[in-house]
Amino acid sequence: MKALVWQGVNRVGIETVPDPEILQPTDAIIKVTSTAICGSDLHLLDGYVPSMVHGDILGHEFMGEVVEVGSEVKNIKVGDRVVVPFPISCGHCWYCQQGLTSLCDNSNPNFKLAETMWGYSPAGIYGYSHITGGYAGGQAQYARTVFADSNLFKVPDHLTDDQVLFLTDILPTGYMAAENCNITPGDTVAVFGAGPVGQFTIRSAFLLGAEQVIAIDRFPERLDMARQAGAITLNYEKEDVFEKLKMLTGGRGPDSVVDAVGMEAHGTGLMGVADAVKQTTRVLETERPHALRAAIMACRKGGTVSVAGVYGGLGDKIPLGSLMNKALTMHTGQTHVHRYLDRLLKHIENGDIDPSVIITHRMPLDEAPQAYKLFKHKHENCIKCVLDPWA
Ligand code: NAD
Ligand code: ZN
């Protein structure tokens, strides 16, 4: 089959690789009908996530048709149309039972590597390095999925791929980022980053009752899209964001601030990483503003900072004094996708949210290397690119 593989820092390509096979009786093979490129894939492209190997298949946002199931799979049948949550949940460990599925204790076969490098083990994630399990991703014609009964989520035929694909990751991620703001009536939520995650955070914040949402980015087309959802927008290259945020909130600052940027932030400063991490993680050194730093500084006293943006290694120059002395609450984490699926599917079916609005580019899988370039550099007003493995 054809697949998009990692070939080194800033290099991805299409290669012909063996078709995936059932390895465990709880597995299922999916014929991928749609797959997308995520901001998190850019961290792999940029080389910020350790333990990538030439030939690793990327992609954790994918859906399709089940074409084969293992002997112990009970709830999923050949022919089912499913979306695949990016974190892998075994369904029965302590974390999965609490609904904290991105912290699953059983889905990362490389937990020893993770514990050696990071001191803890995250859940398995498709297409996201060996430290999160070494699972092949879904930017391919077929994908092997594991713990099929507790992971694959059936979607109704009357919804298109475009409407349900983002249930795999960024729609629940935006929703969890907003939920983590503990929004109460009258609240103002500021969202740093108006990429796909930021767009869904804005829409979710309104769904959860925010009165005012303020989006901050530098790309006009992303700010336009945020305005279409009802947000007030600020271009951080053209205006004083801190002053404007104060002006819009009676001098106090937003009640909650979301970092929907993460470590490829324009101006991010990640430095001082420990030696173990340094060997495999590239280090960025810059003094320019950092989205997380800005989120902490901008939030009102007693407010909430919600970090959806992905970080790795150690970050420096985080204003811990402000975090503590302003009595801020911080929430973060990879998204517990599974716990939001029923709720978000209902919102899609009711028309409360149309996830397809963020798609700006559709390309055959063959053109995925070009799609990565467009999405990384935000060329051609690219906001979200969906790939068709069979075009
Ligand atoms: P993206 O690259 O399309 O969007 C990031 C946006 O941030 C861009 O529009 C960029 O212009 C803007 N930006 C950069 N620096 C900024 C700054 N200093 N201030 C304000 N805006 C700034 O990516 P995306 O797909 O929207 O993903 C965003 C982040 O969310 C990434 O870090 C990604 O890894 C993370 N993510 C997290 C989860 C999770 O489970 N927590 C899931 C998916 C994605
Ligand atoms: Zn993602």
pLDDT digits (tens, 9 = 90+) for 31-63: 999 999 999 999 999 888 888 999 999 999 999
Name the percent of the chain in helix, strand, coil, to the closest 5: 35, 20, 45
- Confidence category of residue 391, pLDDT binned at 50, 70, 90: very high
pLDDT at 5 over 90: yes
Rounded Cα distance between 57 and 13, Å, is 10
pLDDT at 379 over 80: yes
Q: Is 382 near ligand 1, meaning CB less than 6 Å away?
A: no
| Mean pLDDT calculated for residue range 377-386 | 97
Higher pLDDT, 50 or 73: 73
Q: How many helices (H) and strands (E) would you count in the chain?
A: 14, 15
Q: Report CA-CA distances (Å) from 320 to 97, 164, 267, 271.
A: 33, 39, 19, 16
pLDDT digits (tens, 9 = 90+) for 245-258: 999 999 999 999 99
The reply to whether CATH 3.30.530.20 applies to domain 2-169+336-388 is no
Q: Report CA-CA distances (Å) from 111 to 120, 122, 297, 385.
A: 8, 8, 35, 32
Q: Is 192 near ligand 1, meaning CB less than 6 Å away?
A: yes
Structure confidence at residue 50 (pLDDT)? 82
Residue whose CA lies nearest to ligand 1 atom number 25: 39
Structure confidence at residue 316 (pLDDT)? 65
Atom number, ligand 1, closest to the C-alpha of residue 38: 25
Q: Where are the domains of the chain?
A: 2-169+336-388, 170-332
pLDDT digits (tens, 9 = 90+) for 264-310: 666 433 333 333 333 333 333 333 337 888 899 899 999 999 999 99
Q: Is 180 near ligand 1, meaning CB less than 6 Å away?
A: no
- Measure 63 CA to ligand 2 centroid, in angstroms: 13
pLDDT digits (tens, 9 = 90+) for 190-203: 999 999 999 999 99
Q: Is 196 near ligand 1, meaning CB less than 6 Å away?
A: yes
pLDDT digits (tens, 9 = 90+) for 138-183: 999 999 999 999 999 999 999 999 999 999 999 999 999 999 999 9
| 137 phi and psi angles, rounded to 5 deg | -90, -175
Please state, for a pLDDT cut of 70, what percent of the chain lies above it: 93
Atom number, ligand 1, closest to the C-alpha of residue 267: 18
Residues 6+ apart with CB under 8 A from 215: 190, 191, 194, 198, 202, 222, 223, 226, 227, 231, 232, 233, 234
Ligand nearest to the CA of 87: 1
pLDDT at 380 over 70: yes
Residue whose CA lies nearest to ligand 1 atom number 17: 291
Structure confidence at residue 289 (pLDDT)? 39
pLDDT at 133 over 60: yes
Structure confidence at residue 76 (pLDDT)? 98
Structure confidence at residue 293 (pLDDT)? 84
Structure confidence at residue 272 (pLDDT)? 30
- Measure 141 CA to ligand 2 centroid, in angstroms: 18
Please give the full DSSP string across 48-63, using - where no structure is assigned. -SS---TTPBP-SEEE
The CATH architecture to which 170-332 belongs is 3-Layer(aba) Sandwich (3.40)
- Measure 192 CA to ligand 1 centroid, in angstroms: 8
pLDDT digits (tens, 9 = 90+) for 78-129: 999 999 999 999 999 999 999 999 999 999 999 999 998 888 999 999 999 9
Q: Is 171 near ligand 1, meaning CB less than 6 Å away?
A: no
Q: Is 362 near ligand 1, meaning CB less than 6 Å away?
A: no
- Measure 265 CA to ligand 2 centroid, in angstroms: 16
Atom number, ligand 1, closest to the C-alpha of residue 288: 18
- Measure 193 CA to ligand 1 centroid, in angstroms: 6
